[in-house]
Copies of this chain bind each other. A is one copy, B any other.
Amino acid sequence: MADRPLAVVLVSGGLDSCVAAAVFNQTHSLAFLHLNYRQRTEAREQRAFDALAGHFSVGPRLAVDLAYMEQIGGTALIGTHTPVPEDAPKPGRVPPTYVPFRNANLLGIGVAWAETLGADAVVIGAHQADSDYPDCRAGFFAAYNQMVQWGTRPERAIVVHTPLIALDKGGIVSLGARLGAPFHLTWSCYQAEERACGRCHSCRLRLAGFAAAGLVDPIAYAA
């Protein structure tokens, strides 16, 4: 394991980052980066992060507090005052849970840490099938990688990888199942922290993904 290259994986604790970690676990040693931007369910996500790091025997772990995303605001996903919508967002519209320029900010921290650690990869479980977030599109990540090449030390060659970019939720569940990803350790619900609500947009996507893959989600849901 010691001669494997190192990959920094952005791990929220959800399904997508778990499967992205399982993909790179085949070829790399893993470093796990958790970004707390004061989501409602942050405490629960942090528990899922710790459980996943244990499962993958991860050495370098870093949890970064991005209080500034709360200062900047502009979204329903942060803080507890704006209700989280239960319906799917309208196609072609940026959904109200959009955090301004979120992925650029998260990846900036991942790339800085990768440069310090000597990692050659930064891995994010983003995918464009299910959303209209501008910073989840393949073109965004291609442009991001051009910028990384300009902005990092010339002796480094850090690449941002999006192994799930072309998959839908069913495809992500199927891929994770093939790789033995520990779904029972993940958390996706935007709303609750003990039993998943089963009603918020994130729960609905997750449940639809397991249904499409013909599998049963192992986590507990409210009745």
Interface residues of A (CB under 8 A from B): 62, 64-69, 71-74, 94, 98-105, 108-109, 111-113, 115-116, 134-135, 137, 139-140, 143-144, 146-154
Contacts and interface: CB of A to CB of B under 8 A. Distances in A.
B150 A143 contact: yes
A74 to B, nearest CB: 4
Oligomeric state, in copies:
2
B108 A101 contact: yes
A27 to B, nearest CB: 24
Given A66-B68, A101-B108, 20 more contacts: A65-B67, A69-B112, A72-B113, A72-B116, A74-B116, A94-B154, A100-B111, A100-B112, A101-B111, A104-B151, A105-B105, A134-B154, A137-B150, A139-B150, A140-B150, A143-B143, A143-B146, A143-B151, A144-B151, A147-B147
Nearest to A35: B68
B150 A116 contact: no
Contacts of A66: 68
A interface SS class: helix
Contacts of A72: 62, 109, 112-113, 116
A105 B112 contact: yes
Given A67-B65, A100-B115, A101-B115, A135 B150 contact: yes
Nearest to A106: B108
A66 B105 CA distance: 12
B147 A134 contact: no
A108 B101 CA distance: 7
Given A134-B152, A146-B143, A109 B105 contact: yes
A152 B115 contact: no
A180 to B, nearest CB: 31
B68 A100 contact: no
A139 to B, nearest CB: 5
Given A134-B151, A153-B94, A112 B116 contact: no
